[in-house]
Each structure stands twice: as structure tokens, then as C-alpha cells.
Amino acid sequence: MNKTFSFACGAAALTLAALPATAGPSAGSWYIAPEAIYLWTDQDRLSDDALGGAFAFGRSFDKWDFELQYNYVSADALGGDKVDFHNAFLNAHRVFFREARVSPYLKIGVGRVDPQYDSTSPLAGASLTNWALAYGAGILADLTRDDSSGRSLAVRAEIYGLVSSSTEPPNGDHLSDTVAGIGLQYNWGAPVAAAPVVAPPPAIGDADGDGVNDNLDKCPGTPSGTPVDANGCELDSDGDGVVDRLDKCPGTPAGAKVDANGCELDSDHDGVVDRIDQCPNTPAGDKVDEVGCSFNLRLAVFFDNDSATIKPESYPDLDRAVSLMKRDDQVRGTIEGHTDSNGSDAYNLRLSQRRADAVRQYLIEHGIAASRIDAVGRGESQPIADNKTAEGRAQNRRVVLVRSDR
């Protein structure tokens, strides 16, 4: 038993010695430690192992605890006699991780082992008191700790050996006993740390002077005098993404696309914004109505040479004219047919009339009342480009809806 214990204590000592030492809240306190103990006696003592008790009084420092400890054990001796062990030691505990819930420690001490035999024993009255060295290890496991009062209560468990200096019969040479103990350790009087001084928060400024403190201002650097919201950001009353200070078109409808001035886009520059414009890409300079449609609506109508039969590729543009007239029943006008200068004037006049009539008939067949549209052939009398070039002649060959309702 004692050889095994000696080896275990040595290994524990080497392991704990390698750990970093730290001082925790119990440093600087006093403590008491009552324990129940069990004593394994050296076989040369000729007595049985037995239960007993121990009591320690000590003081804790940064890395060490120092204590006075008294042990008492009453055991059966050879021949039915009793032997009482009265042991007193001065111990030093090297404590590791004192601030943790569980703190291991190494134990070393020096003291006296005083076995006292019954009056009936042959050894009664013999002077068997010896000096002894204590060595071992233990742990402290916190139950409660109150740093504000400097008090703590922990479970204390330890195991240690006692090597006696005895060289007198009947004991033999250097007795080795083993003690295991478990109990409580109550600490009090540890210094209480002063409450940390909390510096007042730094003054919170308003660098841009907009009335919103810098710690809340999500838009620092607002120009002086500019109205802002609760986040310190310039107002955008119509929510178009352009702040009121720069918005030249306040009151833009929600969701409308705007330019850098906060004004709605007018991609074809006809004076009617894209949100309303039903005829995008109106030619520059055309007079338009309130929905952006030109009063002189040029229709892309295609015919075979010397023919007034409308070709299918013309239908999308003609359907656009039908849609316009159905959308606004006030629209009225004249379909004008125009040609280039090739051919005689009389021939071109007749051809342009036939083509204008064909377009008018298409509109009527698609639901437009005949009373709303006329058809006139203008021949080559109203060119809009130079008939000497192919490009100019192509522009002159045209069909136009000339509105008369405005």
C-alpha cells in the first residue's frame, strides 16, 4: 500500500508542479478545515488501520496555504490493546488555479506522530513520539463563493503519506503511514475588491449641427441648416431618392423613375413623362397629346410596287393606331397618303389615294367608326425629304394619321 501510494504522490507532485499557478479570490483569507480521515498504519506498528478525525486552521496567500493540523485516530493494537495516535503538523499547500471551481494542491508538512498505548499494553508509557514528514496532494472544490464578502466554502479531499523518523524498537526503521481525508474548508476575510470606477461616458457631440447626436447620426456631414429626420439624414418627402434640397420636382408619385433632379424621366423629350407616355419614341419636334402621342402619327405601312394592298409587316403599326383611337374616342383625323416624285403627278395622286383608302378600311375593319376617319391622297405634293436621293424618296413614301380633334 505505502509503496504504491508513494509512487502515486510523486507522479501527482510532478504533474501539478508543471501547471501555472494563479491566485484567486480566497487569497489573503483565513480558514478552518474539519475532516474525517482514514489511517493506514505501517505494518511495523503492529496496529490495525482505523477511522479518525482532523482539524486544520490556516491562512491563504497568493499561491500558498499555511496551516496547523491536528489528527486523532484510535486503532486496535496487537494483543487486543488500543493505541491512540495524536499527530500535529505544520503544513504548506501549493494551490493551483485558485480562481477555478476546482483547485488542486500539493501538500508538504512537518510535525510529530505520537502513538499512545493503553495502560495494559507492554508499550504503555513508552516514549514513541517521532518527528514525521507529510507529503501528498489534494483538491478544493467550491460549494459557494461570495467575492463581495470574501467568504467561500469548499469540499476538501486529500491523501498524503507520513514518513516517521523512528528508529527505536519495536517499530523498526522509518515508519510510513498513509492518511486519506475528506471534509470542508471554510474561508473568510479575503480582501474585497473595490468596485471599479466607471468613467463617465464621453460627451456626445453633434458635429454637423443638424440636431441629431453623432452617436445616432446615420448621415454625418449634413449641410448646415438642412432639415433632417430622426436619423440625421436629409428629408426626401416624396421618397424618390433625391433629397428635398436638390429635388426640382417635389411630389413625384411613388415608384416613378426620376433623374438627378428628382424629375420623372421623359425619354423621348416630348413633354410627357415615361410613366404616362403611351407613344414612346415620338419623333423630335412632334406635337403630342396628354398621353405623349403625336398629332401627326406616321404609320409604317408597306405596299408592293404599284399596289395598294397592305403587306402583313404593316399590321403592328396599324394596330397601334387602332389601340390609340379605341383608348381615346375623341381622336379623329385624316389618313393622308404620300408618294415620292417617280411617275406622273396624276398617277401618284391616284396611287396615294388608293393607299390611304386601304389604311382607312383597315382601321374600320378593326372597330374604328368610319365617321371618325377620312382618307386623302396627296401624291407627291408634300415631300418631307429630297426626292433626288433614295433615302429621301423612302421618307416621302409615307402614310400619316393627321388628327383633327385638337
Cα–Cα distance measured from residue 340 to residue 46, given in angstroms and rounded to the nearest whole number = 142
Same domain, 303 and 382: yes
| 234 Cα distance to chain centroid | 29
Is residue 309 assigned to a domain? yes
Is residue 288 assigned to a domain? no
Give the whole-number percent of the chain exceeding pLDDT 90.
37
Distances from the Cα of 275 to the Cαs of 247, 263, 264, 322, 365, in angstroms?
18, 12, 8, 21, 31
Same domain, 179 and 252: no
Same domain, 309 and 260: no
Same domain, 247 and 348: no
Cα–Cα distance measured from residue 228 to residue 234, given in angstroms and rounded to the nearest whole number = 4
Is residue 200 assigned to a domain? no
Work out how many domains the chain is built from and give that number: 3
Residue 336, all three cell numbers: 393622308
Number of H helices and E strands in the chain, helices first, is: 4, 12
Picking from 213, 247, 265, the residue at the C-terminal end of a domain is 265
Same domain, 45 and 159: yes
Residue 157 is predicted with a pLDDT of 96
Is residue 259 assigned to a domain? yes
CATH code at position 124: 2.40.160.20
For helices 345-365 and 315-327, angle between their N-to-C axes, nearest 10 degrees: 60
Same domain, 167 and 311: no
- Which residue has better confidence, 169 or 339? 339
Same domain, 155 and 92: yes
Q: What are phi and psi of 221, to 5 degrees?
A: 85, 20
pLDDT in tens, 242-251: 998 888 998 8
Same domain, 256 and 344: no
Give the range of the structural domain holding residue 357, as residue numbers without chain letter: 296-403
Is residue 287 assigned to a domain? no
**pLDDT for residue 4 is more than 50:** no
Same domain, 246 and 301: no
pLDDT in tens, 106-120: 999 999 998 888 777
Say what the pTM is: 0.44
Cα–Cα distance measured from residue 66 to residue 399, given in angstroms and rounded to the nearest whole number = 115
Is residue 43 assigned to a domain? yes
Same domain, 184 and 240: no
Residue 126 is predicted with a pLDDT of 65
Is residue 221 assigned to a domain? no
Residue 328 falls in which region: left (phi positive, over 0), alpha (psi -120 to 50) or beta: beta
Residue type, 60: S
The burial of 148, by beta-carbon neighbours within 10 Å (0-12 exposed, 13-18 middle, 19 or more buried), is given as exposed
CATH code at position 393: 3.30.1330.60
Picking from 265, 281, 305, the residue at the C-terminal end of a domain is 265
Cα–Cα distance measured from residue 74 to residue 79, given in angstroms and rounded to the nearest whole number = 15
pLDDT in tens, 57-106: 999 998 999 999 999 999 988 777 888 999 999 999 999 988 888 999 99
pLDDT band at 320 (very low <50, low <70, confident <90, very high): confident
Is residue 184 assigned to a domain? yes
Strand order in the sheet with 373-379: 296-299, 398-403, 333-338, 373-379
130, 175 in Cβ contact below 8 A? yes
**pLDDT for residue 221 is more than 90:** no
pLDDT in tens, 143-153: 998 878 889 99
DSSP character at residue 121:
S
